Amino acid sequence: MKNYHIIWRIAADLAIILLLALAPLWVVAICAAAFAWAFAPYYEIILCGLALDSLYGSHSFYGVALAFAVFAIIELLKKKTRI
């Protein structure tokens, strides 16, 4: 794996953590979906769903289910749209 890819991935993780603390929920969801599109398997979106659910949810599993759904949909779309 190339070093610049790791650096950008860490920067994306830090951006998600910062957005979780400061931004509205819809901004975090859009950025998480964009990062899931940009990086290969972006497993961090599942942790983002857990964090969103624990911060803003009523401690249900909907945030995690949404994170898994976004992850699966983005992975399928990446395979179909990339050359």
Tell me the mean pLDDT in the region 72-76.
Answer: 83
- Say if residues 20 and 28 touch (Cβ distance below 8 Å): yes
d(CA 11, CA 18) in angstroms, rounded, equals 10
For 9-41, the pLDDT digits (tens) are 889 889 988 988 888 888 888 888 888 888 877
Tell me, yes or no, if the pTM score tops 0.75: no
Residues 54-68: tens digit of each pLDDT: 777 665 667 677 777
Other CB atoms within 10 A of residue 34 CB: 13
Q: Which residue in this structure is represented by tokens 């650096």?
A: 7
Give the whole-angstrom CA distance, residue 19 versus residue 49.
13
Report CA-CA distances (Å) from 50 to 1, 4, 6, 38: 27, 27, 23, 21
